[in-house]
Amino acid sequence: MIMATAYALPHTDVAASTSTALDVNFANVSRTFSTKKESRTVLRDVNLHINAGEVVVILGASGCGKSTLLRSVSGLDAPSTGIVSTGAHQVDGINELCAVAFQEPRLLPWRSVRENIALGLAPKTEAGAGAALINELLELTGLTHAAELRPREISGGMAQRVSLARALARRPGVLLLDEPFGALDALTRMNMQDLLLSIHASFPTTVLMVTHDVDEALNLADRIVVLGRTEDAPGATVVEDLALNAAHPRSHSAEDFIAHRAHLLRLLGVDPANH
């Protein structure tokens, strides 16, 4: 893999300084959105345990509640019933143990790349240590040359790397990725997937990622969780929990890969014979 070498990781202190990866637990999590006129159940009885350090990809059709599940971990949204916890911490309000990268980079346009990454630093980070960490992250994401540029001066793929670096600056116990590569072109997306794997190798935090791209899931995940509806009740719940053991990089022509792909596509309501 070309990018793996392009982003060959320097022997940084990032890994050494990592806060410990945390496990994530969803216990009977449901979420219902209510308006005056109607109430709509999006998630129903989600029970899921994610081990510390695992890369878990959540797959599901559009609007099935993938992002809502992720937001319940970050504390941007709260479940209607049930409990979400990261490590020993039960999520209530913004969860500072995790960090989020969204589908859009969401960078502050008036700040340089470096200053945007600094936004992710944990509040009590000492200045010297913070600066060193940012330099390491810039190197890790191949952005050192762009550190002083503004977001409008860099490409979409670079902006998404900044967003990733900003999340890592938090040294999160759980890294939450909400379709982070969804808006990128196909080639950039592949490079970003490789980057994510190298980051995870040197920075072994728990990664919880949402996507609707089956191939992306099969490339990256230690485990794939599919959210979907069952016929008897409203709202999506876990309909498949698939462990993948193959080492990276994964061959797309391997038998497992093809079988898993067909199985997942069928679960998502797509005829694998056509794709």
Partner 1 sequence: MSAPQLSTDRAGSQRPKKAGLGEVILRAPKWLLSLILPVALLGIWQFVTTTGIVAPWSLPTPGAVIAAAGELLEGGDLGKHIGISTQRVLLGFAIGSLLGLVFGALVGLSKLADALLSLSIGALRAVPSLAWVPLLVLWMKMGEDSKVTLIIIGAFFPVFTTVSLALRHVDAQLVEAARAFGFKGLKLLRTVQLPAVVPAIFSGLRLALAQAWLFLVAAELLGASMGLGFLLTDSQNNGRIDRLILTIILLAIFGKITDALISLAERWAIRRWT
Q: Which stretch binds partner 1 (CB under 8 A): 7-15, 54-62, 73-81, 253-261?
A: 73-81
Q: Does 170 bind partner 1 (CB under 8 A)?
A: yes
Residue 110 in contact with partner 1, rule: CB under 8 A: yes
When asked if residue 74 is in the footprint of partner 1 (CB under 8 A), the reply is: yes
Q: Does 146 bind partner 1 (CB under 8 A)?
A: no
Residue among 246, 225, 222, 240 nearest 55 (CA)? 222
Which range of residues in 13-21, 91-99, 209-217, 235-243 is near partner 1 by CB under 8 A? 91-99
One residue of 50, 59, 100, 265 binding partner 1 per CB under 8 A: 100
Number of C-beta neighbours around residue 249 at 10 A = 12
120 binds partner 1 (CB under 8 A): yes
Q: Which is nearer to partner 1, 119 or 129 (CB)?
A: 119
Nearer of residues 103 and 237 to partner 1, judged by Cβ = 103
Residue 118 burial (10 A CB sphere; 0-12, 13-18, 19+): buried
Which listed residue (106, 212, 248, 263) binds partner 1 by CB under 8 A? 106
103 or 211: CB nearest partner 1: 103
Within 10 A of 47 (CB to CB), how many other CB atoms are there? Answer: 12
Tokens in use for 37? 């006129």
Stretch that binds partner 1, among 23-31, 102-110, 125-133, 222-230 (CB under 8 A): 102-110
Minimum distance from residue 136 beta carbon to partner 1 (Å)? 19
To partner 1, the closest distance from the beta carbon of 121 in angstroms equals 9
Output 166 or 223, the one with its CB closest to partner 1: 166
Query: Is 127 a binder of partner 1 (CB under 8 A)?
Result: no
When asked if residue 24 is in the footprint of partner 1 (CB under 8 A), the reply is: no
Judged by CB under 8 A, the stretch of 14-22, 107-115, 213-221, 228-236 that binds partner 1 is 107-115
Q: Is 82 in the site for partner 1 (CB under 8 A)?
A: no
Q: How far is the CB of 151 from partner 1 (least distance, A)?
A: 10
Q: What is the 3-state secondary structure (H, E, C) of the chain?
A: CHHHHHCCCCCCCHHHHCCCCCCEEEEEEEEEEECCCCEEEEEEEEEEEECCCCEEEEECCCCCCHHHHHHHHHCCCCCCEEEEEECCEECCCCCCCEEEECCCCCCCCCCCHHHHHHCCCCCCCCHHHHHHHHHHHHHHCCCHHHCCCCHHHCCHHHHHHHHHHHHHHCCCCEEEEECCCCCCCHHHHHHHHHHHHHHHHHCCCEEEEEECCHHHHHHHCCEEEEEEECCCCCCEEEEEEEECCCCCCCCCCCHHHHHHHHHHHHHCCCCHHHC
Binding site residues, partner 1, CB under 8 A:
74-76, 94, 96, 99-100, 102, 104, 106, 108-110, 119-120, 123, 166, 170
